[in-house]
Structures are given as structure tokens and as C-alpha cells.
Amino acid sequence: MYIRNQILLDLLKPEVASMGYKLLGLELVKNQHMSLLRVYIDKSEGVNIDDCVLVSQQLTGLLDVKDPIKGKYNLEVSSPGLDRPLFTDEQLKEHVGHIVRIVLNEKYKGKRKITGLIKVVNDSSIIIKCKENDEEIPLDLIYKANLVSQF
């Protein structure tokens, strides 16, 4: 699965870990005027707003010193929420048996978006049980993956 912004991950992950949290992943959404760096954190007891504020303050200082992002940006620290984003192959493996929505980098077998139950994740692909049939998707085609909340 595609890991975006490895430089930022390598910079922020140890800092987040030193505070007792796990850095699940991040998104850097670039814009002409103001970009957005969204950082997802978690811990075994869950994450609340105070945790997000604490981590945000710590990361702001680090990012100001290291200055890895060109131009202006806003930092947003968030819990993964109900529609938890999945950033790595390992996170996909942890959620076998759950429903996931996947967006691909390009069309594959005529589809760009696929929703279904994660059946298997191996070294190079994921098998999703869709309504019609099982779809095997190469991991390197995945742009974005999120759990689908069930009520």
C-alpha cells in the first residue's frame, strides 16, 4: 500500500510515540494558498480532544524548528474516528473481517472505488468480498482506504 509523505512520518512518529500515542498516518493536502497537514493518532484507551490539543502543541514546535513543509499550512491532529483511515498494509491486515471503502490511484477492472469486506491481505494484494463477487486488488493501486462504520 502506498505510504505517503515518508519524510514527515519519519519526523513525527518518534515524537508522537514519546508522548505515549501511536501515529496511525497522516495526510498532506496541498493547496495554492494554505495546505493542511492532518495527523491521526491513537492509544489503547482511545483519544479525546485534550490528547489532540497536547499532540498538536508538541508537533507545532517540532514542525516550526524542522520546517519540512514549504509554504503556509494548518496542522490538524485527529483521532481516527468511526470511518478510520487505514494507511498501511499492516493496518489492513488488522481489520480483516471489517468493511472497507477503497479508492484506487487508477481504474482497475473498470472501477476506481470498491467497498466490501476484507477477506485476505497478503504481501501484494487484498481480497475484498463485494456484493457481486470477490475482487483481488494490488496493494500498490490503493490511494486511500477507510473503514465503513456499521450501525
Using one digit for the tens of pLDDT, what is the confidence trace for 125-150? Answer: 999 999 889 999 999 999 999 999 88
Task: For residue 114, tell me if it sits in a domain.
Answer: yes
Q: In this structure, are 46 and 101 located in the same domain?
A: no
Please answer whether residues 53 and 41 qualify as being in contact, where contact means their C-beta atoms are separated by less than 8 angstroms: no
Mean pLDDT (the chain, rounded): 94
Domain count, the chain: 2
Q: 74: pLDDT confidence band, cut at 50, 70 and 90? A: very high
Distances (CA, A) of 48 to 30, 40, 87, 100: 27, 12, 21, 24
Task: For residue 1, tell me if it sits in a domain.
Answer: no
Q: In this structure, are 54 and 91 located in the same domain?
A: no
Report the pLDDT averaged over residues 7-33.
94
- Identify the pLDDT of residue 146: 97
Q: What is the pLDDT of residues 39-57, one digit of tens each?
A: 999 999 999 999 999 999 9
Task: For residue 65, tell me if it sits in a domain.
Answer: yes
Residue where a domain terminates, one of 20, 48, 78: 78
Q: In this structure, are 18 and 49 located in the same domain?
A: yes
Residue 92 predicted with pLDDT over 70 = yes
Q: What is the CATH number of the domain that holds 52?
A: 3.30.300.70
Return the SS3 of 73.
Answer: strand
Q: In this structure, are 36 and 95 located in the same domain?
A: no
pTM beyond cutoff 0.75:
yes
Report the pLDDT averaged over residues 115-129.
97
Task: For residue 90, tell me if it sits in a domain.
Answer: yes
Q: In this structure, are 43 and 94 located in the same domain?
A: no
Residue 137 CA to residue 24 CA, distance in Å, equals 22
Q: 2: pLDDT confidence band, cut at 50, 70 and 90? A: very low
Q: Could you list the residue range(s) of the whole structural domain that residue 20 is in?
A: 6-78
**Residue that is written with C-alpha cell 512520518 in the block:** 9
Residue 3 predicted with pLDDT over 60 = no
Q: What is the CATH number of the domain that holds 129?
A: 2.30.30.100
Identify the bridge partners of residue 142 per DSSP, sorted by sequence position: 104
